[in-house]
Chain A
Amino acid sequence: MFEQFLAFLGALMDQTGLAHFWWGNAVMIAVGCTMIYLAVAKGYEPLLLVGIGFACVIANVPGSDLTQPGGLFHYAYQGVQLLIVPPLIFFGVGAMTDFAPMIANPKLVILGAAAHLGIFVALIGAKLLGFTLNEAGAIGIIGGADGPMAIFMTIKLAPHLLPQISVAAYSYMALMPLIQPPVMKLLTTREERLIRMKQSRHVTRLERIAFPIVIGIIVNLFFPPVAPLITMLMLGNLFREVLVVSRLAKTAANDLMNIIIIILTLAIGSTMAADRFLTLETIEIVGLGLVAFVFGTGSGVVGAKIMNLFLKEKINPLLGSAGIASVPIAARVSHNVALEYDKENYLIYHAMGPNLAGVFGTAISGAIMLALLGVK
């Protein structure tokens, strides 16, 4: 009878998660808790890290059905995998964003492409490490510092790498205030950092309304592979700028955006199961992501310095690093570094121009990459 009792107890244990728990789960639960700690105690991207961290913890508790078909986390991931979530994020971002700095100073738009050298350095690095060309493309796009675009490209090129790439992209975006300044200071002189920018011209309501319509046409005409994202970005922005549907613009920018952030963070966190995440591949991707951010920052600054060779009215090269996208973090970094040297040199408005152009730069790079790789 005692043996039977032990057998039943054993069978019962087998049905719990405890029997399938291994050290990798413990590591990933610690990673999830660290994310929550960084968000709560240090204030690092709390909107993202709280949800990702919690879903990461739950995804590493064996036996949890939430990440299996029928579970809510699973369906959150479906929203990402079916490319419903990334365009909706762009929709909300469009409704939140003032594109006037970009419209007012078109020459700074070039910095949105110059700061993307990191994409290609990481791409070649990934190929050297033995990744396939499609995987290398997805890894490279981390350097675009644009979370939804990184997810979009990864789903198209290498969906099995989504957890690593999305975590690397969002983590480095949160860490940009630490990554960028040393590179920016290394590549500029004190005199260059002190350059003040002339006040930008006023952008009229007509131009603001025309902008999303014109860009919507251009993107669908020339870059159909990434049109779903940029089109939604422009629709959100049109809602904002026409002024007659402010109710919809507010919903897109606030309530809808918040819901989508919840879905996105749960989806990303739920993919961080130890058996998929604790691999050499992950370390390589995280390393390449850092390389991409460093080179992107550097190429943006150097791009601005090259522009200064041809411009009569010099631009502050610190604006170059803002071209890496990651709106508005990179623009804020440019502004703060300039303020360290001149307390009255406010670069934020000017930095938003290349920063917003960086979103288009990443999208264009992504569209060309998909076309060259023959992926639809």
Chain B
Amino acid sequence: MTMPDSLYGAVMLSLIDFFASMVMITGIGVVLALFPLLNRIGKVDEDALRKRQH
């Protein structure tokens, strides 16, 4: 099912897209909020990585 090519379709598309984008980007925000937990796994030695440069 796709949007009708009319003003109604444009308004519907806009409403759905705006709110769905809001929800999705909030979801990404939630994932990013969990990122500090990664630091419990361990630590990356930056100096060692720089030495291993190719």
Contact = CB atoms under 8 A, between A and B. Distances in A.
Is the A/B pair a real complex? yes
A137 B5 CA distance: 11
Contact of A204 (B14, B39, B49): B39
B31 A103 contact: no
Contacts of A365: 17-18, 21
A219 B2 CA distance: 22
Given A123-B10, A373-B13, A110 B20 contact: no
Contacts of B4: 133
Interface residues of B, number: 41
A293 interface: no
Given A109-B25, A244-B54, A361-B21, A205 B11 contact: no
A229 to B, nearest CB: 16
Contact of B28 (A134, A215, A244, A372): A215
B54 A245 contact: yes
B3 A120 contact: no
A127 B53 contact: no
A124 B21 contact: no
Interface string B17-31: 110111011101111
B38 to A, nearest CB: 5
B16 A132 contact: no
A82 interface: no
Interface in A57-116: 102-103, 106-107, 109-110, 112-114, 116
Interface in B27-52: 28-33, 35-36, 38-39, 41-44, 46, 49-50, 52
Nearest to A117: B18
A110 B24 CA distance: 9
Given A116-B18, A364-B24, A369 B13 contact: yes
Nearest to A210: B38
A110 B22 contact: yes
B35 A103 contact: yes
Contacts of A175: none
Nearest to B49: A243
Given A205-B49, A211-B35, A106 B29 contact: yes
A205 B44 contact: yes
A195 interface: no
B16 A372 contact: yes
Contacts of B16: 368, 372
Per DSSP, chain A at the interface is helix
Chain A residues touching B, range: 35 or more
Contacts of A132: 5
B13 to A, nearest CB: 5
A376 B41 CA distance: 39
A46 B3 CA distance: 40
B28 A218 contact: yes
A204 B42 CA distance: 10
Contacts of B2: 372-374
Given A133-B3, A206-B39, A369-B17, A357 B9 contact: no
Contacts of A113: 18, 21-22, 24-26
Given A123-B13, A124-B11, A372-B17, A244 B39 contact: no
Interface of A: 102-103, 106-107, 109-110, 112-114, 116-117, 119-120, 123-124, 126-128, 132-134, 136-137, 140, 201, 203-207, 209-211, 214-215, 218, 222-223, 242-247, 357, 360-361, 364-365, 368-369, 372-374
For the complex of A and B, the 10 pairs showing the least CB-CB separation, nearest first, are A120-B14, A374-B2, A127-B10, A106-B32, A109-B29, A243-B49, A113-B25, A205-B44, A106-B29, A106-B33
Given A113-B26, A133-B10, A218-B28, 9 more contacts: A106-B32, A120-B15, A127-B6, A127-B10, A222-B24, A243-B46, A244-B52, A244-B53, A374-B2
